[in-house]
Amino acid sequence: MKGDAAPDRAGSPAIVDDDRQNQTPKPDNRQEQRQAEDETQRALVRALEAATATGDFDAVRVIVDELRARRLERSGVVDLAARARKGGAR
């Protein structure tokens, strides 16, 4: 039950957030993070295939842009245009 009162160390009631049990755990190591990224990549590729098959080329463009951004982020490439929009190199 959300919002139950439970005594804290000082003896006064504290709010307990039971929703924390429903949160997806964050990967604790690089291998788990990489697996999650791979699953996301596969889902994007499946979505790209479906959008292409149905002729939804607006969706194709969005998915391709996302895949490109993810690839560039992994490779460490700096987006100079984005950096310039944010106020230049620092």
Residue 62 within any structural domain of the chain: yes
* pLDDT mean across residues, the chain: 78
Residue 88 within any structural domain of the chain: no
pTM: 0.54
pLDDT in tens, 49-59: 999 999 999 99
3-state DSSP call for residue 6? Answer: strand
Tokens of 49: 């295939």
Q: What is the pLDDT of residue 26?
A: 59
Number of domains into which the chain is organized: 1
Residue 18 within any structural domain of the chain: no
Residue 49 within any structural domain of the chain: yes
Q: Tell me which residue range forms the domain holding 39.
A: 27-76
pLDDT in tens, 40-76: 999 999 999 999 999 999 999 999 999 998 888 888 8
Please give the Cα distance from 68 to 8 (Å, whole number).
49
Tabulate helix, strand, coil % of the chain (nearest 5).
Answer: 60, 10, 30
Residue 39 within any structural domain of the chain: yes
